[in-house]
Structure 1
């Protein structure tokens, strides 16, 4: 750019030079075949630069190029002109170029819109004897690649080229119809000096029809004798080629295969709702009807609404986390909306939107909405076994069969318990309570492979750029656009499948060997008797998950309440002994407990004093008086149980009670006395009691800290998803600040208790469980280690990694120690089981991916054969239409054949290294082999979590696969 700056005057001059004749300054037309030549006053902006033309030559040159932009030289400058002003007239209905003996003139203001703007045309329709072959007005226009805005006296048409151009731009670039149409208007006139008739509504109507017709065409409806009316539910959706489809891509004996391989033929689906895809209560189905309701990805609308009317009072969903904010999120911001979002079902391994797997939500994510959408999608997959992931699967799965049994007969599906499995997406899993949830973990689910269940969140991320434009559409326009977008997404997934599956298999093969080696080395280092017991327990649980959860870490130590109870029982037994004389009405444990409680009371007052305003000072003074009275009583007890400590404390000014800020008074508990004096001023029993209570206090504080981290994770997610506007943000920040403060208090309480425990007991095995708490240790389960994350970002250009096998959780979530006791064994058991689960999931992935490759090849072969059959399936009299039907069908068959050959070229090497790649599906396609160097190198669309997180309006996380 620096080298260009000195040259910019030259560039600028050349741009301005073009505003005149430029290099073509002759005033007579160089194209005229006869003399005298006409005046050269016209130039075309869409043709290559050349000499100016006269009107006659211009028209002759553009008889087949009617959509070029023309300028006319006035003598001093160029002005905008049109081909019709130069005399160009278009005769429709005579493709052979013959003259029409009875031309019917179109309207004078007939307008054609192309990708370079608007064009006024002189159109003549055929009205002679040839009119029967030429067709009616609509047919004559469409045979000239013009799509009429109406079939009644059309005076506006859109070129097929423009519609195709916008279609691709809207799908790939998410450009709205309004912006695209405005750009066409600006290309026509960007000065505001010309009055252009508004054709935007006609454009919207035509685009909706174009999308619908494209879906029908690609769905083979023109080739079916039953025509458009014979379209079946979901028939226009693009199916996943890699998912198991009986009769198409899996063996006939798939259901009799051995139990250890049945996971190869399980359909994995994900369910979720997106609350960004709202629709305001504008327009209605009379003004904006749904074209082909139920033929694509949305459920059939009328039946869906009829069912919903019967469940108007059904309660909202909630999650097992018990956080009220999640319930609240489902019911907010629904006033004024006809739809608050959409619920959807996708194949979770490959992220294809399923046929009839989408439906609008009205007031949040109700069971009835999600049940109906799920059943509608599964009606196309009745036979195969299913693994269903849902972020609230632990609750939604309860009573699902009973709820479905109340649906109409045609909506009944069978969900056998031994063939239907439920899971929670991996990044949502830690938002749930840990107890009893291992059965929903995809890390522990046999046959799940490396499925993360988060694929549906990535679909929401992909569709969210059009959320604002679809929000203000009518029911038909919005549904048509969304279906068109998902159809395009499915097709792009289809096209990218060879590279996607190849890269996944290469990664899975490497990870499997690495984790198998890690697991084997871990196993060798352990006691083999324990290994045998753990293996037997987990294998039994995998067969019968009503057994105790082997992945659950047992509590490694008693809580503070338990310790207090134990000490009280010990003191009760001691007091029953002969000759026992109590020193005071308060027992020794009561004395220590009082001191610990006073310590917490002091901390609370210090916090209040730091934030006290003038209005709160009187209340603070009263709190200090009450604390002083408690401290006086504590000193009386101290004189009984620690009489030698009083002279020591009297020498310390920090222990005096006659001060204003009594919250800073030193209490003088055994842990507060220096080691050199402790044995002299208090008994061993008191030291033991405080040490036990402090250890239990550490555990309680850690559990409190974990709870606060869970709450904070939920609140942060809730704020990002649902909080808008200043007032709501202020309240949300206040809630977050409260939780942050509680988290800090829990951490401070743990550190204080640990310091006391360390002072009393010294260093020892107890530190393996109750470690020093650093700031970096205070993080949620789903958070990465800040130190490791910063290193990984430097190494991987800022992209954090995810995954159970790569994550290092903070020690605060590990509830067992490593000193060789039962707690250590329990911790090692769980770590060994997790290591086993990791290599097993990678091993399953190495089996699933080659099978999915084979299924893709089988699906492509099946579709190729289906298109060949369609070529002659419909009998028509029109030879040109018959020719078109055959040509399109054979072209589609050839596309599948080329895709099959490409798939084999890309995937064969990786499949063979994994022990697959043989069989009829992998055979060479004669004459269609594609060399690998001739293909593009395509990678998965991996996105950084910082770009994707929370963009869907509900919950979104980093992908494992794109």
Structure 2
């Protein structure tokens, strides 16, 4: 029975599907009056079936029929108002106005003036029939004139007018009457050794940027070279060197190379485009030189690489440490001994200044398909660039695999599947699963190797070995103070046996001593996928000398190279390696040109952040002045393991984090104000409404009979006023939550709070009647409706309620002074509670994410978090209300002690959370830093864009916690929810996850005193649980150590960028000198000398621009000996020497003034124009002095001098 029902259901479902498809496939249009205008059936759908009238079956509903709209009367239809179109931008408005004339001009291109008229050449019978659309201002002429005028442009198309057809026909030049050919060897004229009137009969194919030409070529017979040489002299690259019949123009090869590198244009698509340019309609009739083009471009590419690298000039003799025949573009800023370093730098013991920085990363998009009939083409680079010699590398990989030592060590951090449990299925059908790159910290590719079935350590070892050889091995003296940092996404396991692997392999042993100098880290984004222990063992943020080396630079090249993945995996491996070498060389070349701007961004950012982080650190030292001396005795490098967890000064002890319920109970005690300063100053039996406990119930007013001269009359008045003001703010926050969620729990809470407020106001009015009877008339004017329904809107009629003139008139000046003093204490107390609330909220969120699983725990945790967020909003509102009252009593709005508080001001990076990417750019809000920084803009010092027209990749910015997606509307009390069907709604965003709120004018940071909140002593006395107290204390300690690490890391980054700027200038100078020497060498031909001199001037211009950018950063580099080349580089000299930046690829446009050259400090106002002058022998002392000053500042902050008032 069940089977029959199921079959009937499936049949009905199929019928409904057929019907729905028929409805979708039919589109109907109606007239304005509702009548059917037309019905259109899409071509890709079957027409709807003709409906058959049949009675519905009694046991199942009838199938619905296609609804047909009725025909309502025209006069009953509502008028449709068509919204006006948005106006077009001015450019497109002008286009619409000019469209008709533009179209007319475009149509005129299909004809010409004077067609059929006699040709101006005067030859009898010659008429104007031929046009050239590629020559500017070309007038119609006869075919003979066209041939004569195109002797030096034989690949222009000839458009010949056909009177019979009535339009132009496109011809190659050899298809014109007389079959004129292209003559080689004599400037376009026929060879004198060829018989007069000889017409070449051999068809020749020439591929140019405007299409594929089938023409005729006449070679020279004077013995000036074979056919291939004659073609090359005519700037034509032959498709073969044995009797060629096809050639590609140099312009076409260069054009494709640029398009290929910049837009990943495949060769197949480029040739297809040329066929379309040849014949836009019958494009398949054009010749297809794709196969020959691939081979020619492979040869063209290696020739360009050898010319650019100087190998054809013999440049190796100037760089003896580099491998012979090197074709890779090198990084100017990294240490290269003998090129951009000095003897003074060799004696530096600071690890941040003499540190080699490498990153490693694999990419499985650059794989290679396994093919049975693949041609065995090798790479033309033959190990002279990023890839090592392929035969040697394959022998190495095969021997390791044969010895059975290719398996990797297991690790518990393999979130990335880089080592353990790799998915072998994704490598099926490939013999190369991807590539692995070694890069420097400036994102220059240094070396590359192929991967076989995953990412193994042997691949990384060989790539790293090749990277060392590319840069040149240092001497023993140079290695004495040299250090290194190697960033790898699986560095935690790679480092275990790295040195032993290099020592055990003959191919790798020569760099083992250098490997021993290296430490290992994991990139800051990747480390979040590891176990938490890895963050504190291998994060560069907590490693001395690392600076801001985050290690994620290795990822930046992949978006560019992945565009070529589809092309590379189909090539033979030799062509594939040539492809990636060419890509990475172009990537490095762009980095060479734009490196000054990148260094400028890094230097300016580091300078700003090191100062900002120092101010924040000093404010923490002042806040925890009683604890800092003891904390400072702890080791920053120590890492101990307790219960399988790494413990250090930068991490909360995991076992000490209290549970969320205990944190919540302590939060309730603190948020309700138990033990507050005000409550301690006034102890009275009526002091029952300061706190808003979970048992808020209205109490009857107690009779108070106090004389105005009673010693506690005025304090009791002010106490009740502060209590009433706090209750009013809490009612407003609760009412806002009720408007958002509309739960019965919040409504009941509102009624209880208003009842409690009325009780407090009754007590306040009783004391006011005795202390300030002069405000009785104002109290009597209160609207009874407001008093009964919304007492939170009632004024309190205290001195802060009146203007200064009214206070004088009513005699409230003296009381106003006392109120201001009481409000100041209340404001400090509010801020103390708020700080504790924010810290506990962060801990609650962390605990909830880790431990709240299951419906019951999750519901209870959500209820606690919602209530805690309401308490946070209340604390912040109470402080702001107190501050407004103080301003009314005379406190300046710009007072540096009490600033306006908003969500942005309460931001704090949770100390219980691991460090997140982008944390170094985030600074805690004013609640935690006081006046150290301006919290209105937390991204002030992210990477900048300067006038060098470049930018750096922004690091990922994250918050320590995110807003909750849902909110449990449990009761606003501490007990657990009893109903499983608790309604949920949108959450109240936590201060840690809130969106930034622009700070007001009074939130500007003051630079004169320390943080405005750190006069408040420890708030531990307000927390009821000892473990929670210890947890908060440890959070302060972790915050202090992390702040110190931020200061030192950015100081190290600033120091390193200064050195790298100088290394870059030295590198440019070195390359300029080398190329100038190559130009003037005895064995250099005039053509080689011209290329070398042009390249020398390019590097000289780069050096000048780099110095100019360095000056913009505030520094001047003075060379040991002034170079006459630099002094001669004036704009006039640049023009005379051919340094036209527009023609040579510069970014100056016509009419723009070139940058002012700089050849020393003679053009600076004053001794150095306000700039810091650095020389090779003074830059190291300058950096050491800056480091000493920083250490002194930190020491004074930890141990303030006795005379210091701060």
Query: TM-score scaled to structure 2, two decimals?
Result: 0.55
CA distance 1:534–1:901, shift in 2 (3 Å): same
CA contact (8 A) 1:911 1:917 kept: no
Match of 2:579 among 481, 500, 504: 481
2-side partners of 1:543 and 1:249: how far apart? Answer: 41
Distance between the aligned counterparts of 2:373 and 2:460, measured in 1? Answer: 24
**1:934/1:457 Cα in 2 relative to 1: closer, same or farther (>3 Å)?**
farther
Deviation at 1:920, TM superposition (A): 3.4
Which segment is superposed worse, 415-424 or 846-855? 415-424
Structure 2 distance, partners of 1:847, 1:853, is 10
In structure 2, the partner of 1:39 is 127
User: Which range moves more in the overlay, 34-43 or 151-160?
Assistant: 34-43
Change (3 A) 1:779 1:111: farther
CA contact (8 A) 1:784 1:808 kept: no
Question: Which runs of 5 or more residues in structure 2 are unaligned?
Answer: 1-91, 475-481, 663-840, 876-906, 926-935, 945-951, 963-989, 994-1017, 1022-1028, 1135-1147, 1157-1206
| 1: CA distance, partners of 2:373 / 2:313 | 32
1:455 alignment counterpart: 553
Q: Which secondary structure state, in structure 2, belongs to the residue aligned with residue 94 of structure 1?
A: coil
Contact 2:127 2:141 in 1 (8 A): yes
CA change 1:206–1:870 in 2 (3 A) is same
2:1041 to 833, 837, 840: 833
Question: What is the TM-score of this pair, normalised by structure 1?
Answer: 0.68
> In structure 2, what is the equivalent of residue 195 of structure 1?
285
Contact 1:388 1:420 in 2 (8 A): yes
What is the DSSP-based 3-state SS (H/G/I as helix, E as strand, rest coil) of the residue aligned with 2:1061?
helix
Cα separation, 2, equivalents of 1:244 and 1:906 = 21
Q: Are 2:1089 and 1:917 aligned?
A: no
Counterpart of 2:612 in structure 1 is 514
SS of equivalent to 2:285: coil
8 A contact 1:59–1:83 mirrored in 2: yes
Determine whether 1:69 maps to 2:157.
Answer: yes
Quick check: 1:143 aligned with 2:233?
Answer: yes
Compared with structure 1, are the counterparts of its residues 783 and 893 closer, same or farther at alpha carbon in structure 2 (3 Å cutoff)? closer
The answer to whether residue 1005 in structure 2 is matched with residue 906 in structure 1 is no
Alignment of 1:127 with 2:221, yes or no, is yes
Q: Distance in 1 between matches of 2:254 and 2:953?
A: 40
Ranked by relative contact order (alpha carbons within 8 Å, sequence separation 6 or more), the top structure is 1
Q: State the partner residue of 2:384.
A: 295
| Counterpart contact for 2:116–2:128, Cα < 8 Å | yes
Q: 2:363 aligns with which of 267, 271, 274?
A: 274
**Match 2:631 to one of 522, 525, 534:** 534
**1:406-445: CA deviation from partner (whole Å, max 9, x where unpaired):** 2224653124687312111111122222226423111122
Structure 1 residues 119 and 449: alpha-carbon distance in aligned structure 2, compared to 1, 3 A threshold: same
Whether contact under 8 Å (1:163, 1:207) holds in the other structure is yes
Per-residue displacement from partner, 1:761-781 (whole Å, max 9, x unpaired)? xx99xxxxxxxxx9x999997
User: Alpha-carbon deviation of 1:504?
Assistant: 2.0
Partner SS state of residue 422, structure 1:
strand
Q: Does 1:503 align with 2:503?
A: no
Q: How many residues align?
A: 730
CA contact (8 A) 2:358 2:439 kept: yes
Three-state SS of the structure 1 residue aligned to 2:520 is strand
**Partner SS for 2:155:** coil
Partner of 1:351: 443
Shift of 1:311: 3.3
What does residue range 377-392 of structure 1 map to in structure 2 within 5 Å? 377-381=467-471, 382-383=473-474, 384-392=482-490
C-alpha spacing 1:246/1:109, structure 2 compared with 1 (3 Å): same
Contact 2:657/2:1031 (8 A) holds in 1: no
CA contact (8 A) 1:805 1:838 kept: no
Shift, 1:705, TM fit: 5.6
Are residues 339 and 803 of structure 1, via their aligned partners in 2, closer, same or farther at CA, if it must alter by over 3 Å? closer
Q: How far, CA to CA, are the matches of 2:1060 and 2:416 in structure 1?
A: 41
Structure 1 residue 218 corresponds to structure 2 residue 305? no
- Kept in 1, the 8 Å contact 2:330–2:444? The answer is yes
Q: Is the 8 A contact 1:330 1:363 kept in 2?
A: no
Is 1:100 matched with 2:192? Answer: yes
Q: Which moved more, 1:503-512 or 1:310-319?
A: 310-319
The aligned residue for residue 926 of structure 1 is: 1127
Aligned pairs (5 A) from 1:229-244 = 232=323, 235-244=326-335
Contact 1:376–1:411 (8 Å) recurs in 2 = no
**In 1, are the aligned partners of 2:650 and 2:1041 still within 8 Å (CA)?**
yes
1:288 Cα deviation after fit: 2.6
Choose which of 1048, 1072, 1091 in structure 2 pairs with 1:888. Answer: 1091
Following superposition, the deviation at residue 808 of structure 1 comes to 4.0
- 2:370/2:430 contact within 8 Å kept: yes
How far the C-alpha of 1:837 sits from its partner, in A, is 1.2
Matched, 1:304 2:393: yes
Distance apart, 1:256 and its partner CA: 2.2
Residues 271 and 456, structure 1, Cα contact 8 Å, conserved in 2:
yes
Q: How far off its partner does 1:165 sit?
A: 0.7
Can you give the 5+ residue segments of structure 1 that lack an aligned partner in the other structure?
Answer: 564-697, 709-740, 765-773, 877-881, 938-962
How far the C-alpha of 1:316 sits from its partner, in A, is: 5.6
Q: Give the direction of change, closer, same or farther, for the CA distance of 1:919–1:829 in structure 2 (3 Å limit).
A: farther
Per-residue deviation, 1:896: 1.0
Aligned counterparts of 1:413 and 1:890: Cα–Cα separation in 2:
37
CA contact (8 A) 1:170 1:176 kept: yes
| Distance in 2 (alpha carbons) for counterparts of 1:911 and 1:16 | 59
CA distance in 1, matches of 2:639, 2:866: 43
Is the 8 Å Cα contact of residues 285 and 476 (structure 1) preserved in structure 2? no
Q: 1:424 to 1:322 in 2, by over 3 A?
A: closer
* 1:56 equivalent in alignment to 2:148: no
Which of the pair has more CA radius of gyration?
Answer: 2
Structure-1 separation of matches of 2:1113 and 2:938: 29
Measure the CA separation in 2 of the matches of 1:234 and 1:398. 35
Q: In the alignment, which residue of structure 2 is the partner of 1:819?
A: 1020
Match of 1:617 in 2: none
Partners of 2:352 and 2:556 in 1: how far apart? 24
With over 3 angstroms needed to count, the CA separation of the structure-2 counterparts of 1:832 and 1:251, relative to structure 1, is same
Asked if 1:342 is matched to 2:401, the reply is no
Contact in 2 for aligned 1:232/1:295 (Cα 8 Å): yes
Higher helix share: 1
Deviations 1:332-385 (CA, angstroms, capped at 9, x unpaired)? 41111121111010002x10011xx10111211111111111121123343353
Q: CA deviation at 1:115?
A: 0.7
Q: Which stretch of structure 1 is more off in the superposition, 819-828 or 163-172?
A: 819-828
Deviation at 1:918, TM superposition (A): 3.5
**Shift in Å, 1:248:** 0.9
Matching residue within 246, 249, 271 for 1:181? 271
Relative to structure 1, is the Cα distance of residues 703 and 328 closer, same or farther in structure 2, using a 3 angstrom cutoff? farther
Task: Find the residue that maps to 1:386 and give its secondary structure.
Answer: strand
2:559 alignment partner, SS class = helix
DSSP 3-state at the match of 2:361: strand
Residues 1:165 and 1:907: Cα distance change in structure 2 (over 3 Å): same
Q: Give the deviation of 1:852 after TM superposition.
A: 0.8
* Structure 2 residue 222 is the aligned partner of structure 1 residue 14: no
State the alpha-carbon separation in 2 of the partners of residues 152 and 832 from structure 1.
76
Q: Name the counterpart of 1:846.
A: 1054
Q: 1:272 to 1:170 in 2, by over 3 A?
A: same
8 Å CA contact 1:319, 1:392 repeated in 2: no
Give, in angstroms, the shift of residue 510 of structure 1: 1.6
Alpha carbons of structure 1 residues 316 and 237: separation in structure 2 relative to 1, 3 Å: same
Q: Match for residue 264 of structure 1?
A: 353
- The answer to whether the 8 A contact 1:390-1:424 is kept is yes
Aligned-residue offset at 1:703: 7.3
1:438 is the counterpart of 2:639: no
C-alpha separation between the residues in 2 aligned to 1:284 and 1:749?
A: 66
- Measure the CA separation in 2 of the matches of 1:748 and 1:784: 32
Match of 1:652 in 2: none
Cα distance in 2 for partners of 1:515, 1:225 equals 46
Change (3 A) 1:745 1:281: farther
Change (3 A) 1:902 1:505: same
C-alpha separation in 2, matches of 1:353 and 1:921: 33
1:121 CA displacement: 2.6
Shift of 1:106: 7.1
Does structure 2 conserve the Cα–Cα contact (< 8 Å) formed by 1:702 and 1:812?
Answer: no
The CA RMSD measured in Å over matched residues stands at 4.4
Please say if residues 40 and 52 of structure 1, whose CA atoms lie closer than 8 Å, have aligned partners that are also in contact: yes
